[in-house]
Amino acid sequence: MTNINEDYIEGYIRSIIPKSNENLAAIEQYAHENHVPIIEPEVAQFMKLILKKNKPKNILEIGTAIGYSAIVMAQSTDGDAKITTIERREDMANLAFNNIKSTSYSDKIKIIIGEAHEILPLLEGKFDFIFLDAAKGQYLDFFKYCSEYLVPGGVIMSDNVLFKGMVATDDLVIRRKKTIVKRLRSYLQYINNLSGYVSCVIPIGDGVALTYKEDR
């Protein structure tokens, strides 16, 4: 459980979400047993809804981990979308590759191994949907790159933006997390006051921000 919602609310929401298919359930079990962070069930469900509504054709993800969210996105777009996902840890990327290989989406998902701040300037093309789920303290830097790749009408979804509630109140801040909290607060201030974009922070999971790029 997180500090974003009361446990009984979070528990109830999760209790009514449909069960994952066999592939995703196996990844969820691995993540739980090995303490690998993946998106929360309610965040995955919210992501599915956004993707089914917007029907993006070209998706970028920062932070592959073990491939869970990439598979969720592929399933939610019926395999029509091309997904490029960046992971800095080779061991995680290898796990993700194997997890993705066991699905029917291996030809739709491309994993790039390396530091996002080095890879992002080299990308080509535009994206309809971008998912940020990597180093939280670098979200603002990532966003500035990603916003250049985002098409008008596209959406950037950022996970963990309330960071166990610490971003919302100093009462919860752990000393060693002060820098991350400060940077996340700066990030949320930036995207919510950025001309040409509309953002919303949603208190589900560990906090999700949606940013829409307006047509000009």
DSSP three-state, residue 152: strand
CB environment 12-28: b (16+ within 10 A), e (fewer): ebeeeeeebeebbeebb
Q: Give the mean pLDDT of the chain.
A: 95
- Where helices occur in 22-175 by DSSP H, the ranges are 22-34, 41-54, 68-76, 90-101, 116-119, 139-149
DSSP state of 133: -
**Which two three-digit tokens encode residue 148?**
């250049």
A 10 A CB-CB count for 204 gives: 19
Domains and CATH numbers, the chain: 7-213 (3.40.50.150)
82-122 pLDDT tens trace: 999 999 999 999 999 999 999 999 999 999 999 999 999 99
Q: pTM for this structure?
A: 0.96
Residue 1 pLDDT greater than 70, yes or no? no
Residue 79 pLDDT greater than 90, yes or no? no
Mean pLDDT of 62-77: 97
Beta bridge partners of 82: 58
Locate the DSSP E strands across 99-182: 109-113, 127-132, 150-159
Distance CA(63)–CA(2), nearest Å, equals 20
173-210 pLDDT tens trace: 999 999 999 999 999 999 999 999 999 999 999 999 99
Beta bridge partners of 85: 61, 111
DSSP state of 37: -
Pairing of strands 58-62, 197-202: unpaired
Distance CA(145)–CA(137), nearest Å, equals 15
The position carrying tokens 């916003």 is 147
